[in-house]
Structure 1
Amino acid sequence: MTVLIDAIEPFIVDLPTIRPHRLSMTTMAYQTMVIVRVRCSDGLEGIGEATTIGGLSYGAESPEAIHSAIENYLAPLLVGQPADNPNRLRSRMQRYVRANSFAKSALETALLDAQGQRLGVPVSSLLGGAQNERLAVLWTLASGNAVTDIAEAERLLADDRHRQFKLKIGGREVRDDVEHVISIQQGLPDGVSLRVDVNQAWSESQAKPAIAVLQNAGIDLIEQPTPGRQMHALTRLSQRFEIALMADEAVADTFDGMRLWRSGFSGAIALKIAKAGGPIGALELAHAVEAVGLDLYGGTMLEGTIGTAAAVHAWSTLRECRWGTEMFGPLLLTEDIVTESLHYCAGGVTVPDAPGLGVSIDEDKLDYFRRDGGPRRTTSIGSELKGRRHAV
């Protein structure tokens, strides 16, 4: 018998972080994520996650908007549909709902999770098969204080948890940011890789002298120094300097990646499953830009374990992520809603090999941290929507 999607339930969770996480556009004191459950007629349940950085401070989708898009638009498209073909369901979402890539990513992840469990294989196998059992993972230093950041890096190096670091800058005057980076670089041991993420905070004229100083100081890479929409500014900077530049906010999907490459950009692309609408779209982008010679980096929206596991499965199928990955999101949390964490050690993370994502929800923690509070609801969105599904 055909396995159908019986119900879809999204909910918002707020989780505390180990410290404030300072970016150019906001400072995060906690992490908010949308978790989605997809229940199928064969009794299996897939889970997915959509997480933003600082709500609308970073991008166009807030947690509340993601929840609404799933509940009111995407769930009616999927409930009652065959559950065993995530690719066809992905196409259905793309056809009838514009944009909303974060919401689609959460659902695509849940569909892949359920199908992996159904077939008894990890999600990486559904995406082509893992080529790597472990992925290098850097740590982002984002307290905003040089002494604190250096001490944090030294602890992580001593524990052999991370060997590469990235600094979040862009919230101060350009000169102050550059001095902050150099002071931290000088405080770290020789041979430690240090990159910076400007988060679109500089104009092209500001970026030129700043990049020159950072290049001379031995910084390895600079991520998105200029606004994402100013594609040609990023391209000109990549052609002007030897230091590697990375596009993040400038690239969401394959169309963006090819447009940036055709403009003459040479550097790296930050992959994010949320920006691309899910793991499948992120890998389409990866394969396209890799084919034309651009380097890859496994990026993050600081997801918890569910979203991080989905990205780890995707990045494990790539031949090489030249600049490693940033899949440390769960380590930034003091609490999570899963029964077992991912395994981090020796500067990297192990790719789960259990069926599906290889992670499951801790019901007690979910009940405690979900935003609506109280006992978990037993009614499902799927049952409410079956009678009023959109005619599509």
Structure 2
Amino acid sequence: MPNLTVSGVRTTIVDLPIVRPHRFAHHSIDTQSYLLVEVVTDAGITGVGEGVSPGGPWWSGESIEGQKDIIDRYLAPALVGGDAEDLTGLRRQWDKIAFGNLFAKAALETALLDAVGQVYGVSLATLLGGATRATLPVRWPLSGAGTAQALEEAVDRVALGHKSIKFKMGALAPADDLRRVAELAEKVGSDVDYLGDPNGTWDLRTASWAIRELEAIGFSAVEQPVPRRDLRGLGELREAANRIDIMADESVCVPADALDAVGRRACDSVAVKPGKAGGLRAARLVTDVLDTAGIGTYGGTAIEGPIGTAASAQLFATFPRLAHGCELVGPLLLSDTVTAEPLSYADGELIVPTGPGVGVRLDQDKVGRYRRRDRG
């Protein structure tokens, strides 16, 4: 068996253009940045991971630049000379060196798992417990502003096979936001499943009223209606809801959060993301905690690029249940890729890669084209 001693770590920031502006609750982006993390081993095998920040540090507190700095200055020196297969031991080292920095640690862990998968000739899904599905139903997210363009985009995506839509909300006043999504849902049609996501911008009183309105429109779920720390409020909304699922996102990141949510019975489902959990293995543990308690798991996104999307897809393929599908649309929002082969989508579903490790490889010419040169 080849020697998987880590001999070096490379980090590269790439800035990729997206096909149309993407509006969150508080800002809009037209470029998405990624941190590519390559872990080189003495065996000549290089594993790749991806650090992501959805439009900046507003969501997680971690910027792409900060992830690069924490890895280059602190985590990589502790990794060099270590055994790439000693995932638990290396993670303990990182946690002693730096508190938090979950997205950066997730990128490093993915690169290690990719190297291990390559040497054994198995996919990340196999390393994470085994795939239960070969494809993932993809929910299409619409930007949180505009009506005419959003309607055209929704109609196009439904025609391509997407059976579910997510409305980004919170950029408008609540009453205007609800009028907007009601108009769009009516025009797109009742055969589509709808989810709303105000990114925690509503207070409890507003959320109580807005959720009744979303139920009347026919939404199946609302994601993180109240601020991330208001787990009690989330639970009150769940108790008051009639049919609509209350989904946690920012409120449930790591396994300890999952235990807290289960104890409070605070939600019906959770958007699981490897980055916010601190890695693929921790995200799998979050899912196990939730599934044991009968709480659904949704395959969330931080607008990952092709590497992060491939890794997340392999994780989500292992989930025993997948409430509301997944949202792995990052590569479809990008104008170009940095991998040698694109991920495959068909009939509104993502085909889970089956190659060893993450299942896709970097195109170094593309990496060179989009590598950030003026900063970071």
TM-score normalized by structure 2?
0.96
- Alignment partner of 2:276: what SS? coil
1:147 alignment partner in structure 2: 148
Count, aligned residues: 373
Instruction: Map 1:18-29 to 2 at 5 A.
Output: 18-29=19-30
CA contact (8 A) 1:239 1:266 kept: no
Structure 2 residue aligned with 1:214: 214
Per-residue deviation at 1:53? 1.2
Deviation at 1:5, TM superposition (A): 0.1
Whichever residue aligns with residue 277 of structure 1, its letter is G
Counterpart for residue 33 of structure 1: 34
Cα distance between partner residues in 2 of 1:153 and 1:177: 17
CA distance in 2, matches of 1:32, 1:50: 9
Q: Does 1:370 align with 2:371?
A: yes
Match of 1:386 in 2: none
Counterpart CA distance in 1 for 2:183 and 2:282 is 39
After TM superposition, the structure 1 = structure 2 runs for residues 1-392 of structure 1, keeping only pairs within 5 Å, are 2-142=3-143, 144-160=145-161, 162-242=162-242, 243-372=244-373
Judge conservation of contact 2:144–2:171 (CA < 8 Å) in 1: no
Return the offset for 1:84: 2.6
Q: Distance in 2 between matches of 1:21 and 1:302?
A: 10
Contact 2:3 2:43 in 1 (8 A): no
Cα separation, 2, equivalents of 1:318 and 1:272: 12
Secondary structure at the counterpart of residue 196 of structure 2: strand
* Counterpart Cα distance in 1 of 2:186 and 2:363: 43
Displacement of 1:2: 4.2
| Structure 1 residue 25, shift from structure 2 partner | 2.0
1:49-87 deviation line (CA, Å, top 9, x unaligned): 011112122221011110111001110111110123334
Contact 2:135 2:352 in 1 (8 A): yes
- Percent identical: 36
Do the aligned residues in 1 keep the contact of 2:249 with 2:271 (CA within 8 Å)? Answer: yes
1:388 corresponds to which residue?
Answer: none
Aligned to 1:387: none
RMSD: 1.4
- Which stretch shows the higher mean deviation, 118-127 or 85-94? 85-94
In the TM superposition, what whole-angstrom CA distance separates every residue of 1:217-239 from its partner, at most 9, and x where no partner exists? 11111000110011111111111
Describe the superposition over 1:179-204 as per-residue Cα deviations: whole angstroms up to 9, x where unpaired.
11101110112211111101011000
CA apart distance, 1:266: 3.4
Tell me the distance in 2 between the aligned counterparts of 1:295 and 1:264: 12
Question: What is the letter of the counterpart of residue 335 of structure 1?
Answer: D
Counterpart in 2 of 1:382?
Answer: none
1:143 Cα deviation from its structure 2 partner: 5.6
**Structure 1 gaps, min length 5:** 375-392
CA distance in 1 between counterparts of 2:85 and 2:223 reads 38
- CA deviation after TM superposition for structure 1 residue 153, in Å: 1.2
Q: Displacement, 1:373?
A: 6.4
| Partner amino acid, structure 2, of 1:225 | P
Q: Distance in 2 between matches of 1:85 and 1:260?
A: 30
Give 1:237's aligned amino acid.
L
Contact 2:144 2:169 in 1 (8 A): no
